[in-house]
Protein backbone atom coordinates (compact mmCIF):
# COMPACT_ATOMS: atom_id res chain seq x y z
CA UNK A 1 0.00 0.00 0.00
CA UNK A 2 2.74 2.30 0.67
CA UNK A 3 3.85 2.05 -2.88
CA UNK A 4 0.51 3.02 -4.30
CA UNK A 5 0.38 6.17 -2.25
CA UNK A 6 3.89 7.06 -3.20
CA UNK A 7 3.06 6.71 -6.86
CA UNK A 8 -0.04 8.89 -6.48
CA UNK A 9 1.71 11.52 -4.39
CA UNK A 10 4.79 11.85 -6.59
CA UNK A 11 3.04 13.44 -9.62
CA UNK A 12 1.30 15.94 -7.37
CA UNK A 13 4.56 16.88 -5.71
CA UNK A 14 6.30 17.17 -9.10
CA UNK A 15 3.52 19.45 -10.42
CA UNK A 16 3.65 21.66 -7.33
CA UNK A 17 7.43 21.78 -7.58
CA UNK A 18 7.25 22.75 -11.26
CA UNK A 19 4.76 25.55 -10.53
CA UNK A 20 6.70 26.89 -7.60
CA UNK A 21 9.93 26.64 -9.56
CA UNK A 22 8.36 28.44 -12.51
CA UNK A 23 6.98 31.18 -10.26
CA UNK A 24 10.32 31.62 -8.62
CA UNK A 25 12.32 31.43 -11.87
CA UNK A 26 13.04 35.04 -12.95
CA UNK A 27 13.82 33.92 -16.51
CA UNK A 28 10.41 32.31 -16.89
CA UNK A 29 8.67 35.40 -15.45
CA UNK A 30 10.62 37.66 -17.78
CA UNK A 31 9.72 35.44 -20.74
CA UNK A 32 6.05 35.50 -19.76
CA UNK A 33 6.16 39.29 -19.42
CA UNK A 34 7.92 39.60 -22.79
CA UNK A 35 5.22 37.48 -24.43
CA UNK A 36 2.52 39.60 -22.82
CA UNK A 37 4.18 42.85 -23.99
CA UNK A 38 4.67 41.42 -27.44
CA UNK A 39 0.98 40.51 -27.60
CA UNK A 40 0.02 44.03 -26.48
CA UNK A 41 2.32 45.63 -29.07
CA UNK A 42 0.93 43.38 -31.80
CA UNK A 43 -2.62 44.31 -30.79
CA UNK A 44 -1.74 48.03 -30.86
CA UNK A 45 -0.07 47.68 -34.25
CA UNK A 46 -3.10 45.85 -35.60
CA UNK A 47 -5.38 48.54 -34.20
CA UNK A 48 -3.26 51.31 -35.79
CA UNK A 49 -3.19 49.50 -39.12
CA UNK A 50 -6.96 49.06 -38.97
CA UNK A 51 -7.43 52.79 -38.21
CA UNK A 52 -5.12 53.75 -41.09
CA UNK A 53 -7.03 51.46 -43.41
CA UNK A 54 -10.35 53.00 -42.33
CA UNK A 55 -8.94 56.53 -42.82
CA UNK A 56 -7.65 55.63 -46.28
CA UNK A 57 -11.00 54.10 -47.22
CA UNK A 58 -12.84 57.21 -46.02
CA UNK A 59 -10.47 59.48 -47.97
CA UNK A 60 -10.90 57.35 -51.10
CA UNK A 61 -14.66 57.52 -50.71
CA UNK A 62 -14.54 61.33 -50.39
CA UNK A 63 -12.33 61.58 -53.48
CA UNK A 64 -14.71 59.34 -55.40
CA UNK A 65 -17.65 61.53 -54.37
CA UNK A 66 -15.77 64.66 -55.48
CA UNK A 67 -14.90 63.06 -58.80
CA UNK A 68 -18.52 62.06 -59.27
CA UNK A 69 -19.68 65.62 -58.50
CA UNK A 70 -17.14 67.03 -60.98
CA UNK A 71 -18.29 64.57 -63.61
CA UNK A 72 -21.91 65.55 -63.01
CA UNK A 73 -21.01 69.24 -63.27
CA UNK A 74 -19.11 68.61 -66.50
CA UNK A 75 -22.05 66.65 -67.87
CA UNK A 76 -24.44 69.45 -66.89
CA UNK A 77 -22.16 72.04 -68.50
CA UNK A 78 -22.04 69.97 -71.68
CA UNK A 79 -25.82 69.70 -71.68
CA UNK A 80 -26.17 73.43 -71.01
CA UNK A 81 -23.74 74.33 -73.79
CA UNK A 82 -25.57 72.09 -76.25
CA UNK A 83 -28.81 73.83 -75.31
CA UNK A 84 -27.21 77.27 -75.61
CA UNK A 85 -25.46 76.55 -78.89
CA UNK A 86 -27.89 77.49 -81.60
CA UNK A 87 -28.43 74.68 -84.07
CA UNK A 88 -29.07 76.89 -87.11
CA UNK A 89 -25.73 78.57 -87.77
CA UNK A 90 -24.95 82.27 -87.62
CA UNK A 91 -27.39 85.17 -87.73
CA UNK A 92 -27.12 87.56 -90.67
CA UNK A 93 -25.29 90.83 -90.15
CA UNK A 94 -27.55 93.73 -89.21
CA UNK A 95 -28.45 96.31 -91.88
CA UNK A 96 -28.27 100.09 -91.43
CA UNK A 97 -30.85 102.52 -92.89
CA UNK A 98 -29.59 104.83 -94.22
CA UNK A 99 -26.34 103.13 -95.11
CA UNK A 100 -22.87 104.69 -94.87
CA UNK A 101 -22.39 108.11 -96.35
CA UNK A 102 -21.88 111.86 -95.96
CA UNK A 103 -24.62 113.90 -94.34
CA UNK A 104 -25.02 117.66 -93.92
CA UNK A 105 -26.34 117.33 -90.38
CA UNK A 106 -27.21 114.83 -87.65
CA UNK A 107 -29.03 111.78 -88.89
CA UNK A 108 -30.92 108.92 -87.30
CA UNK A 109 -29.97 105.37 -88.23
CA UNK A 110 -32.28 102.38 -87.99
CA UNK A 111 -30.69 98.97 -87.47
CA UNK A 112 -32.54 95.82 -88.52
CA UNK A 113 -31.84 92.11 -88.55
CA UNK A 114 -33.82 89.20 -89.99
CA UNK A 115 -32.99 86.70 -87.22
CA UNK A 116 -36.00 85.73 -85.09
CA UNK A 117 -36.10 87.41 -81.66
CA UNK A 118 -32.68 88.96 -82.29
CA UNK A 119 -31.20 91.52 -79.94
CA UNK A 120 -28.94 94.05 -81.59
CA UNK A 121 -25.95 95.57 -79.81
CA UNK A 122 -24.00 98.52 -81.20
CA UNK A 123 -21.16 100.98 -80.68
CA UNK A 124 -20.52 104.42 -82.20
CA UNK A 125 -16.80 104.68 -81.39
CA UNK A 126 -15.57 102.10 -83.90
CA UNK A 127 -14.97 99.31 -81.36
CA UNK A 128 -16.45 95.88 -82.02
CA UNK A 129 -19.72 95.42 -80.13
CA UNK A 130 -20.42 92.60 -77.69
CA UNK A 131 -23.49 91.61 -75.72
CA UNK A 132 -22.26 94.11 -73.11
CA UNK A 133 -22.49 97.01 -75.59
CA UNK A 134 -25.49 99.31 -75.95
CA UNK A 135 -28.70 97.42 -76.70
CA UNK A 136 -30.52 98.78 -79.74
CA UNK A 137 -34.06 99.86 -78.76
CA UNK A 138 -34.78 102.37 -81.51
CA UNK A 139 -33.15 104.65 -84.09
CA UNK A 140 -29.66 105.86 -83.19
CA UNK A 141 -28.88 109.57 -83.46
CA UNK A 142 -25.53 110.13 -85.17
CA UNK A 143 -24.59 113.76 -84.47
CA UNK A 144 -20.93 113.75 -85.48
CA UNK A 145 -18.69 111.71 -87.73
CA UNK A 146 -18.84 108.16 -86.37
CA UNK A 147 -18.21 104.58 -87.24
CA UNK A 148 -21.30 102.57 -86.27
CA UNK A 149 -20.82 98.85 -85.62
CA UNK A 150 -23.51 96.32 -84.71
CA UNK A 151 -24.07 92.59 -84.06
CA UNK A 152 -27.23 90.53 -83.82
CA UNK A 153 -27.68 87.96 -81.06
CA UNK A 154 -30.52 85.47 -81.40
CA UNK A 155 -31.62 82.45 -79.33
CA UNK A 156 -31.99 80.55 -82.61
CA UNK A 157 -28.67 81.54 -84.23
CA UNK A 158 -25.16 82.25 -83.01
CA UNK A 159 -24.02 85.88 -82.96
CA UNK A 160 -23.72 87.57 -86.34
CA UNK A 161 -20.56 88.97 -87.81
CA UNK A 162 -19.99 92.66 -87.12
CA UNK A 163 -21.72 95.08 -89.49
CA UNK A 164 -19.95 98.41 -90.02
CA UNK A 165 -21.05 101.74 -91.44
CA UNK A 166 -19.25 105.12 -91.48
CA UNK A 167 -21.28 108.31 -91.16
CA UNK A 168 -19.52 111.57 -92.01
CA UNK A 169 -21.36 114.60 -90.67
CA UNK A 170 -20.39 118.01 -92.21
Q: What is the model's pTM?
A: 0.49
Residue 166 CA, distance from chain mean position: 47
Q: Quick one: pLDDT at residue 89?
A: 82
Tell me which of 142 and 90 has the higher pLDDT: 142
Confidence at residue 9, expressed as pLDDT on a 0 to 100 scale: 52
Region of residue 165 (left: phi > 0; alpha: psi -120 to 50; beta: else): beta
How confident is residue 16, by pLDDT bands cut at 50, 70 and 90? very low
Angle subtended at Cα 65 by Cα 63 and Cα 70, rounded to the nearest 5 degrees: 95
- CB 133 within 8 Å of CB 162: no
pLDDT for 94-150, tens place per residue?
999 999 999 999 999 999 998 878 899 999 999 999 999 999 999 999 999 999 999
Q: Which CATH number applies to 95-169: 2.60.40, 3.40.50, 1.20.120, 2.120.10?
A: 2.60.40
Q: Where are the domains of the chain?
A: 2-84, 95-169
Q: Is the pLDDT of residue 6 over 70?
A: no
Label residue 15 by pLDDT band (50, 70, 90): very low
How much is the average pLDDT of 152-163? 90
For residue range 31-87, list pLDDT tens digits in order: 778 778 878 887 888 888 888 888 888 888 888 888 888 888 877 776 655 555 555
3-state secondary structure at position 108: strand
Amino acid sequence: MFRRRTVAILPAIFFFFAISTQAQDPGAAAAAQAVQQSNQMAAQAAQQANQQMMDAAQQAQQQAMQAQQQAMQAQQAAMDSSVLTPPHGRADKPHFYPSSGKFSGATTVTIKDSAPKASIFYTLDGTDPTTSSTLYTGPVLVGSTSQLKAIAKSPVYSSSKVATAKYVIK
